[in-house]
Structure formats: structure tokens, C-alpha cells
Structure 1
Amino acid sequence: KNFDFAVLMLILINAGFLAADWPWSVSPCTTKPCDTHSLVLYVSDLIFTVVFTCEICLKMVAFGPKNYLKGVANLMDVFVVIISLIALFIPILKVVRSIRVVRLVSLLPALLVSVQALFMAVPALATVNIVIAAVWFLFGVLGTQLFMGRFWHCSNAGTPVMVGRADCLPPNQWVQQRWNFDHIGMSIASLTIMSWGEAWEVFLWDGMDSTSGGILSGSYLSPLAGVFFVLFFICGSFLCLNLFAATLIDEFLRNQDEQAGLTEGQKAFLRNVKVMLHSTLPPPTAMPANPLRKSIFIMVNKDWFELVISSCIIMNMIFMALEHYEQTETWTKVLGAANLVFVIIFCCEAALKITGFGMRQYLLNRGNVFDFFLVVISLAGLPFEDAPGASVLRVLRVFRLVKRYKSLKMCFEALLYALPHLVNILQLMLMVYFIFGVMGVQLFGRIDYSHPDLQAMYPQGLNHYSHSGDLPRPFLTLFIVSTTEGWSLVMEACMLRPEGCELTNTCGSSVAGPYYIIFLILTAAILINAIITTVLAHFSSAQDNGQRLLGEARVRWALIDPGRTKR
């Protein structure tokens, strides 16, 4: 364990050095003059490569090569070390050094069980992928036959010129659109972009406006061409991508119970949460002897009292939502008065419950403790009502509805049960972001996003906010890509080779295509769907009849024995 912990620390330190790398670092320093930053990174890379190689050798000696190479995780470690050794002599391979963090999978149980859970769905997903590939190939061939040569236009320095190919004379140029259907490879790439819903309507309009190769396009010259794009969007996006997601969800729900994919510590946490929520008896609620307190005790336990308080909470949320920028002074006073009224109501509620239950009995209920905390916060915030952000904590009042409605409580419990699984998946997602982020710095970090051509064509693709120049900017860019919002613009900008870029080594690369598509599949298609699947799986656990009966038994026991005499 100590040895594995030391290796884990070395991998994390190595990850820090990888994150400190930048696209202009020089390598190898043995044959090229290096600045201090590049020299430190190069020496650290040598040290970590030697250390990890020695680690693999020691394990092979200790366990024997045959026994050591039986484990899939060990094979992955050997592969990573071999790539690192080759990268010392082939500098271009330093792009893939970030895969060293994959070794965390074999050292961190949470990551390992998440990867194993995903691999359980591979056989079913492989069958679905065959269906998806067949659909893509069918529409790719059909698209090539229908639209080959039709996605071209006459251009003058980027400005469209409305003439056909025969009249497109110098200095004009007859150029093709970035995504077209001129051959099967480009057709499949165009269909992939369309399937994610990214500007698919642009393909639709361009196809409907074109007639044949070299002919000037016009408005709705081929209206029936739209049938092709609509059919593919239905089959490719609505059916195929959702079939992939549904298969992943079905395999997760079928092959795992609620504790599958958890470490022993996480299983213990989940068991303790269930015991806390369903097995412990409610706090004792002995009725006071004093007639006044007794009447208050009965009143605050009535359903109508809870309904009134819940209505006040909802009304409070509505008034908070009505606050807006540059509101009138009169409206500000109205909202302030409304907040004061609600604070008084909630204070009266707390006072009535404390009077009816008694302070000790009142504080034994966790829900009452939370309510009392919000009342104290509300009272403390009254003098600072006009301060910026003063109303932020008041939003917490909405959580008081959780304990009052079973459906909300069930949703809350489902999220609580899913928390260990979600932590595992988020760790795996963070590792994927890191690997692709570090690779992005080396692949696309030198692109000059301020170049006039790039800004003219893809201002929303790469810019001052979204680029791969240095960490952590690539993480933000990758997060935007994983949401499928404008991802094709980022990809196209990273593929652009503006005039003169060779002189400054700031050209884009065609590697951007597979790079972003693979990342999109891993995150948007697999990991994000895994998060959804995890939450769905635990909703069924929250609705478990056994847990419901146990909860009802707790309530009945509390009614029969309110003083907890155990008789």
C-alpha cells in the first residue's frame, strides 16, 4: 500500500508538470537550445519516465512477467510506459504524454470500478454501433450520389459572388464549403456534425438551394432535397443517438444493483445513509401537560398548519423572483415589506413550535434545526437588506419544502443515494478532461486565434475566452464542446490553415476532427448519459416498497410510543 501510495503521488506530481507545459516549449533539450521553462519540463519528463520504468521492472521481478501481465490494469501501465519511452526519441509523441494519468485507474478504486461498470455495457453498445455505422454508411453513400459537387460557390476573398462556375473568373475563386458531400469520407463527417443538431438546418437550406455541380444556386431550386436531410436527422439524431443512450442506460440498470461500481468505503457510506433516513425512529414528541402549550402542540401538528407554512414559503419564492434590475423605489419597498412579513411569519412558526414542543424536543428534529437556522439568518440579514447579494441565503428557504412533500423528499433521497456513484463518474470525467486538455495545448495551442482570417470565419470558434493556449483555458473550451454548443465551430477553427501560418508555425491541424469527435463521444454520449443513468437507478431505490414500509413502521411506532419508553 505504501508503494502504491508513493506511485500515486508521483503520478499526481507528474500531472502537475504536464499541466505546466505550454505549446512553445522546446524538446528535446539535448539537441536544441532550451529556455529554463523547457529545460525544467524536459528534465522532469526524463525523471518520471525513468521512475515509472523502474516501477514496472520491479513489479515484473516481484510477481513474474507472466503473472504481472495477466491484469488488464497492469497491461495498461506497461503500454503507457512504453509510449513515454518512445516519446523521448520521437518528440511529436509528447502530445500523448497526458495518458500517464490513466494509470490512476489502477491505483484509485473509485476510478477502477467506474471504468469496469462502463466496460460492462460495451458488448451491447458494440451491437448498437454496428446499426449506427450502417445508417451512417447508407446515408453517406446516398448523400454523395445526390449532392456531390453541389456544396461549392464562387468567392472573392471570402465574400460570396452570385455566379456559376463558368462565370467565376479571376480574381474570384470557385471554392467548396468546409463540410460537403464530395466523397464518402466527407459525407460521413458532415452527417456526424448534423446528427448532433449542430447547424443542421444550414445543410438543409444549402441542399435545397442547389441543383447540380457548377450551377449557381438559388432559393428552393431543389425542395425535395430537404427530404434527405430531414430523414437523416430523424434516423441519425432522434433514433440512433437516442438508441445509443437508451442502450447504455438499460445495460447499467440491468447489470448493476445500487451498490455495484462502489468501493467498500462508499458502500458503507450508502448503508449508513439508508439507516439514518429509514431505520432511526423520529424524535420523541411527548405532549406537554400545560393546557396552553398542549393546544399549541396540537395546532402545529395539524396538516392545515403545514399547508399554510408551505404556501408562505412558495409565496416568498414568488416575491423573490419578482426582483429585477432598475426596479422602482416603490417596488423595492414592496418587496422589502413582503420579506419582513415572511420573516415574521417564519419567526412566529418557530416560536409556536418551540412553545408547543419545548426547546429540547424542538431541536431533536433535524428539520426544525434547519428551519431555525434559516430564521436566524433571516433576522441577521434584515439590517443588510439593501446590500448586494443579501437575498442569496433566503433562497435556501425553498429547501424547507423537501421535508413537507414526499415526492420532493424521494427526489432528494435519490440524489443522496447516487452521490457516491456520481463522485466516481465525475472523477473519471475529470481525468478525461485533463488528458484531452493537455493534448489540446500541444496540438492547438500555437494557433493564432486573433488572425484576421480566423476571426472573420470562426469568431465564435476560437477567441480570447475559448482557446488552447495554456491551461486551464482548454478545460473551458472542452466543456463547451461537451455541451454540443458550437462544437463544430471550435473544431473547424482548429483545422483552419490561414495564409502565412507556416512561417509562424500557427497553423491548425486536421487532427482536430478525430480529436473533438472522440472527446464528444466520451463525454456527451457516454459519461453524461452515465450520470443520468446513475440518478435513474437510484430513483427506483428511493421508491423501494421495503423502505416505504419501514418508514411507515417508524411513524406508527412513534405514534404508539411518543415518549420512547420501549414498552
Structure 2
Amino acid sequence: MNPTTAAHDAIYAHAKFKADQTAYLTSNPNFDRALYCLDTRNPIRLTCQRLVAPSVGHRQSGRQPRADLWYAISALTYASIVAVVLIACVTTPFYQRRYIALHGSLKNAWFLWADVAFASFFTFEAVVKIIADGFYSTPNAYFKNLWNKIDLFVLVSLWINVIAEFTGLGGLGRASRAFKALRALRLVNISSTARDTFHHVIISGFWNILGAAVVSISLLIPFAIWGLNIFNGTMYTCNDSSNAVANITQCVNEYSSSPFQWDVWAPRSWDHVAYWSFDTFGGSLLLLFEIVSQEGWIDVMEAAMAITGRDQAPQDYSTPGNALFFVAFNLLGAVFVLQLFVSIIIRNYTEKSGGAFLTSEQRSWRELKKILYQMHPSRRPMEPCSKSWKAWCYERAVSKKGGWSRFITAVYLIHIFLLMAEFYPSSYAYDKVRDLAFLFLVVIYLANIVVRITGLGYRNYFSSRWNIFDCITIFGTAITTSVTLFGLNQGLLGQFQKLFLVLVVLNLIAKVDSLDQLFKTAAASLPAIANLLLTWLVFYVMYAIAFNQIFGLTRTGKYSMGQVNFRTMSNALVLLFRMSAGEGWNAIMHDFTVEEPYCVGSDNFFLSDCGSAPWAFTLFISWNIISMYIFVNMLVTVVYDSFSYVYQKTGKLSNVTRTELRRFKKSWRKFDPNGTGFIQGADAGRFLGTLRGAFDVRIYDEQYSVPKLVQECKTLRFSTS
């Protein structure tokens, strides 16, 4: 296919489509009628169109948005989104309860009227968009945009929350409080790349993830039924742990208990070994789901191994054969479920990004482009006279494999060894010797800086970010180490010395080719990783608000003491991050299922310290799935996909080494001596002609080039004469 013909065909097809679309709209004027009453010439609609961009596509009639007004409204919208989220973070249940204690009610609260103001503004924004382009059936309709659907859902939830507070229903139900968390969803609109990532991860991948969840549940159900049949009613114990109680019939009367070393008489009770059990199918399925996360399964297995019979007191390791159930489940169920999620998420991401359809050579070329995009020719001065001091410095400054470069690399390795030689407790003399050794190494580093500045020149040297970083860390190390030798190494200064000493090691990255390539590939992959983290951050904030609003007043339990609770937003954020790693999430979840008579119940939310089993199971399990399974595995997938430069080891581009890249930069530098990153168009052919090795673009080998052939002819002519 001729590329020029294909381009002309594409342009013609697009123009014909636009013409047909315009003709259809002209012949059917009622088709583009907003709200069935506002045509394209309506002054109100035209005014609204000047304020906002179309929700989808491009407007074929009416007016295009006025840039300054559109940007102003967008900026005000983004600021309002951030403000309304911050209000939800500040107005915790504790804050609201104190406000009620001081003012009697929330009807005149500043944050409630702030919610009204922001809800009114968001309503105005939605109305303007609907008037400008219609709601549902028009070409650029508001409801045809997915993000507008999310915005509308958040807007409705915001008004529900406001109305519930004004009518006094805000303290009656947790659902009305949970609506506050949904406003964080609008944070996705701040970044278009975050919206795309959100769409790929949550929306486009929803059915694949749902399919994985269904398959996972189908694997858990047989084990849940098996565990229900063999363990129900057996994992019980008496709270009197003495040998006086052997079964349920002896677990009566009172016993001497010593809580906090106080000797008191307490009634005996026969209850579950812990917060979990196999007594019901639902409890069995929930317990196995918790075991899938590899959290607390050892305790459950040991409890099963201590079973002596129904209504009998447990004894350690009396039935070790019960451990086979958990071994089989971990091998056949838990591991398989985890890998199933990972594989489906990886496949979904690679299909959406297109990586699943690339060959190894194509993946190699894609990663090579990432590296080439970051490259630019180094700024170098004209090579000085070969016998001068500056020439000596220049040669050592530009050489990557010379003796001076190897010597500096060896000094960095000695530096690392000295860092590893620290121990506690150490003698005063030993610390002084280490500081003197570091100071001696700093002298060598400073000498290297002097050599490089002399050889490259001041401007050329500081055009490199690595060189700037090198100067900051070396001079910081020199100052802090010198002061330390005088005994002033305590407090903040001592911490800065250790920081600079560690940062110096990072300069080794530029010295080692493999580390340098890894670092540059990581830098090229940061946008994809940052977009995923930004999407995760939206859910992170949303769930933190939800947990705080629903469980902010819930009493603490055995596993939620101290700061392990949701009473403040800072506690909620830290605890959610902890649960993202799966650390004790299930035990904490059961603490927040506390209900009467183990808490103070009330119809008024602000007067109760009870939890909620439905909300606890819903929020904890959904956060566990979203954060621990979906986003953690997505992050692994993005990192794996971004660092697939390993394909270069097996593909046709396996010979693109750091040496080849340096040759490429050297050829580039001939036509861009100032390191601007650009060359003149007239020099493009000459530049390509100078490339050698893996980047050689010549049709014939060098031995068949015109200069070589002319030289060969001259040589033959001279030899024959």
C-alpha cells in the first residue's frame, strides 16, 4: 500500500464523514435540540456553550468554548473538588460531636453550609453542560460521557448527605455518612492520564476482574463446605485456661482471673477460640478468604490441630492431621487464587496497553525508544592541545572506561565498605578513624570534581544533573564530616552527615552501565507508575473518608488499640496503607463488627460507640480486594512491563549496549555541540551517515561505500603500476 495514497484516503474519509454529519444535522434540526426545547440558535444555549467544552466529540453547530472562560471554570471546579474533599477530611465524627456539644446542632454549622455552596456550584456546572449540549440523545450529550455519569452520581450523593444533615437524619444512619466519601471520586477528573488509568483498571477491566472473582469463589466454596463439615462446633474453649476444665460441662461457676494483675472472680464461659469459626457456611467462606491473604492462617491451623472433640477443651497438637486441610487449601486454593488474579490483571493491562500483541523484537524496540527519548548529546568543549594540563583533565573527564574512571569507581566501593563497617556499640577511636577515612575519600571526590570542571569547563560540567547532584552530596559530606571530627556530630547535624554519606553512593549509578540503564529505564517508566499511584490515591482518600465517617466513634478492641483506629484521618490513612500490605487486616475488621451488649448502642450515631458488621465486612473486604489484589498487582504489572528491556538480551537489538549508545551520542554531538537536543534538517542525512554499529542505517556495508571503493581502486592501481 502506498502511504501517501492511504493518507489521502484517510483524510478524504474523515472529511466525508464530517460533511455527512453536518448535512444530517441540517436536515434534522430537532436532533440537536437540548432538553427537547433549546435549538442550536437559542441564546441561552449559545451562552452556555461559550463556558464549557462539549462532553464528547466536537460541536458541529453552535459555538466553541471561549478559552479563558472555560479554563477559569475548570480551575474553579478543580479547586472546589479539592476543597470539598478537605472539608470531609476535617469534619470527622469527633469534630462534629464536639460541634454539637458546643452549639446544640449541626444546622448552622459552617461545614454544612460550605457543602451546600459547593453542591450548588457543582449543580450549576452540570446544568450548564446539559443546556450547552443536551442530556441524553443529542450528539454531544452530557450523559454520553462516562466521567459526567460519575460526577452526576457524586453530585446526587452530595445532596443526599446535605439533606440528611439538615433534616436530622445524618446521625441516624451510616449510609448517609458514607456518601461523604464518594466526593473523592471527582479527584480523578484533575488528571486526564489518571482518568485513562482509572478506566483501564476499574471500568474496562471490571468484567475480567469479576470473572476472576467468580472463579476464585468457586474454588473457595468446596473448601468452605469441607471445613464446615469437619470443624463446625469444635473450635471452642473455656476462658479458664487451667487444667481444671476438660469439657463444656465443667466450664461453669467462677474462676480466679487476673486482668492487669488484679485477682478477681470471673464467670466461666464457653466460646470460640478466636474471632473466627467454621460453624456456618458464611463464616467458613469468610475465614478462607482471610487465609487467602496469608494473614493469620497459622493461628487457625494450630487451633484445628488442638481439637480433641466437640464440646471438649482443646489440647495443643492433639490432632496434627487436621493441618493437611490447611496445607491443601494453601497449595490448591490460596496460591491458585492469588496467581489467577495476577495473571488476569497482567493480561488485561497488556491488552489495553497493546503490549500483549507485540513480538519480542517489538518490545525491545519500544524499550529502546524509551532510552533514546531521554538521551541528548553531552555538552563538550573543543578538544584542547594534547600536551596541556587541560587536555589531561579533558581526557579523564570524557573517558568512561579509562584508568581514572576505574579508580573513582574503586573509591566509591571503598566508601560503601566503610558505610557497612558501622556497628553499635563502637569505640570513640573507631568512629574517628572512619570519619578520617571518609574525609580522605572526600578529598579524592573533590579532586575528581576539579579535574572534570577543568576538562569540561564550568558551563558544560553543570549542564549535567548528575554533576550537580555530585557537587551537592560531596560538599555536604565534606562540611558535615569536617564538623563531626570536632565532636559536633549529635542531633540534626549527625543525621545530615549520614544522609550525605549515603547519597554519595548514588553517584555509582552513573559509573556502572547496568545500573545507569536501569535508572534511565525507571525514569522513563515513572509517568505510567505515577498515573497508577494517582488512581490508587483517589481510592485511598475515598476509603479513608468512608472508614472515618462510619467507624470514627467505634470503640477500640483487642486489635485496634492505640493509633490503630479510624478516629482521625491521619490514623485512617496510616491504617489503610498498612492493610494494603495485608498486615492484620482481618483481625482489625472483626474489632469493628462489635455490637451490643459489648458497646453502647443508640439510635443517634453521635451517642453510640458500636460498630457495624455489614459495613465492616463490605469496606474491609472491598479495600483488601481493590488495594491488595488489584492495585498491588497492577503496580507489579506496570513495573514488569516498563522494565522489559530484558528482551533486548534475546532480540535482534541485543547488541545495543551502553557502548553503542555512547557512539550514538558521540555522532550526535558532532552536529549539536551545544547539547540542545536538536540538529538542523540539512544535517540529518550526514548525521545518519556517521552512525555505526547497531544504529547503522546504510544499505551497503562500509567496505562497499564510495570512499572505500575509491580507496581500493587507488590501492590496486598503485600496486599494478
Q: 1:142 pairs with 207, 216, 226, which one?
A: 226
Q: List per-residue Cα deviations over 1:411-470 (Å, max 9, x = no partner).
A: 212221121122222222222121111111221111233xxxx3xxx2xx2223222112
- Determine the C-alpha separation between the residues in 2 that align with 1:169 and 1:546: 78
2:427 aligns with 328
* Among candidates 460, 473, 478, match of residue 576 of structure 2: 478
Does the Cα contact within 8 Å between 1:285 and 1:357 map onto a contact in 2?
no
Distance in 2 of aligned mates of 1:159 and 1:514? 38
Change (3 A) 1:23 1:355: closer
Q: Deviations over 1:381-418 (max 9, x none)?
A: 33322242122112111221111222211221222112
Q: Is the 2:580–2:627 Cα contact (8 Å) retained in structure 1?
A: yes
Distance in 2 between residues matched to 1:61 and 1:483, nearest whole Å: 47
Alignment of structure 1 residues 37-186 onto 2, 5 Å: 39-66=109-136, 67-87=141-161, 88-89=163-164, 90-91=169-170, 92=173, 93-118=176-201, 119-156=203-240, 162-170=245-253, 171-176=267-272, 177-186=274-283
1:3 to 2:73 alignment: yes
Structure 2 residue 508 is the aligned partner of structure 1 residue 404: no
Q: Secondary structure at the match of 1:224?
A: helix
Q: Which residue of 2 aligns with 1:12?
A: 82
1:267 paired residue number:
none
Matched-pair contact (CA < 8 Å) for 1:280–1:554: no
2:591 is the counterpart of 1:493: yes
Opposite residue 64 of structure 1, the aligned amino acid is G
In the TM superposition, residue 46 of structure 1 has moved relative to its aligned partner by 3.0
Q: Which residue of 2 aligns with 1:220?
A: 317
How do 1:208-247 residues align onto structure 2 when only pairs under 5 Å count?
A: 208-247=305-344
Which residue among 249, 257, 277 is the counterpart of 2:374?
277
Moved more, 430-439 or 209-218: 209-218
SS at match of 2:611: coil
Distance 1:24 1:37 in 2: 17
Separation of aligned partners in 2, 1:221 and 1:70: 64
- CA contact 2:194–2:531 (8 Å) conserved in 1: yes
Find 1:419's aligned residue among 501, 506, 526. Answer: 526
Q: Distance in 2 between matches of 1:561 and 1:44?
A: 58
- TM-score, normalised to structure 2, is 0.69
1:527 alignment partner, one of 622, 625, 631: 631
Aligned-partner Cα distance in 1 for 2:658–2:382: 17
Supply the AA of the counterpart residue of 1:395: V
The alpha-carbon distance between structure 1 residues 317 and 162, as it changes in their structure 2 partners (threshold 3 A), is: farther
- 2:351 alignment counterpart: 254
Higher mean alpha-carbon deviation, 160-169 vs 180-189, is at 160-169
Counterpart of 2:538, as a letter, is M
Gaps of 5+ in 2: 1-69, 254-266, 356-366, 674-682, 687-721
Specify which of 512, 516, 520 is matched with residue 620 of structure 2.
Answer: 516
Please report how far the alpha carbon of residue 548 of structure 1 lies from its aligned counterpart in structure 2 after TM superposition: 7.5
More displaced 10-residue stretch of structure 1: 34-43 or 233-242: 34-43
Matched, 1:338 2:434: no
Separation in structure 1 between the aligned mates of residue 222 and residue 79 of structure 2, nearest angstrom: 50
Query: For residue 393 of structure 1, what is the amino acid of its counterpart?
Result: F
Residue aligning to 1:540: 644
Distance 1:284 1:275 in 2: 23
How far apart in 2 are the matches of 1:548 and 1:391? 40
Alpha-carbon distance between aligned partners in 1 of 2:313 and 2:668, rounded to the nearest angstrom: 87
Q: TM-score, normalised by structure 1?
A: 0.86
Give the Å deviation of 1:187: 0.5
CA distance in 2, matches of 1:312, 1:397: 11
The count of residues paired between Structure 1 and Structure 2 equals 544
2:554 pairs, out of 436, 447, 454, with 447
Structure-2 change in CA distance of 1:359 and 1:427 (3 Å): closer
Change in CA separation of 1:337 and 1:463 when aligned onto 2, cut-off 3 Å? same
- 1:126-161 CA distance string (max 9 Å, x none): 3322221111111111110111111111225x9997
CA distance in 2, matches of 1:134, 1:292: 76
Shift of 1:38: 7.2
Q: Per-residue CA shift, 1:307-358, capped at 9, x if unaligned?
A: 2221221221221233344421111112112111211222233334445555
1:130 maps to amino acid? V
Q: Which residue of 2 aligns with 1:261?
A: none
Between the aligned partners of 1:298 and 1:46, the Cα distance in structure 2 is 69
Q: Which has the higher contact order (CA 8 A, sep 6+)?
A: 1
CA distance in 1, matches of 2:227, 2:158: 42
Q: Within 5 Å, which residues of 2 pair with 1:384-403?
A: 384-385=483-484, 386=489, 387-389=493-495, 390-403=497-510
CA distance in structure 1 between the partners assigned to 2:73 and 2:368 by the alignment: 31
Given the superposition, is the C-alpha separation of residues 408 and 162 from structure 1 closer, same or farther in structure 2, using an over 3 Å criterion? farther
The separation in 2 between residues aligned to 1:288 and 1:535, in whole angstroms, is 47
Report the Cα distance in structure 2 between the residues aligned to 1:291 and 1:151, rounded to whole angstroms.
86
- The alpha-carbon deviation at position 123 of structure 1 amounts to 3.7
Tell me if the contact between 2:565 and 2:572 (Cα under 8 Å) persists in the aligned partners: yes
Change (3 A) 1:8 1:294: closer
Shift of 1:486: 1.7
What CA distance in whole angstroms lies between the structure 2 residues aligned with 1:304 and 1:290? 18
Tell me which residue corresponds to 2:478.
Answer: 379
Amino acid paired to 1:309: I
Deviations 1:98-119 (A, max 9, x none): 2012123345313211111213
The amino acid that maps onto 2:183 is R
Which residue identity does 2:278 align to in structure 1?
Answer: F
Query: Looking at CA atoms only, which structure, 1 or 2, has the larger radius of gyration?
Result: 2
Kindly provide the amino acid, as one letter, of the partner of residue 77 in structure 1.
D
Asked whether the 8 Å contact 1:147–1:212 carries over to 2, the reply is: no
Report the residue type matching 1:79 in the other structure. F
RMSD: 3.3
Specify every segment of 5 or more residues in structure 1 that has no aligned partner in the other structure, as ranges: 259-269
Quote the Cα distance in structure 1 between the aligned partners of 2:663 and 2:670.
Answer: 13
Counterpart of 1:263 in structure 2 is none
Report the Cα offset of residue 533 of structure 1.
Answer: 1.8
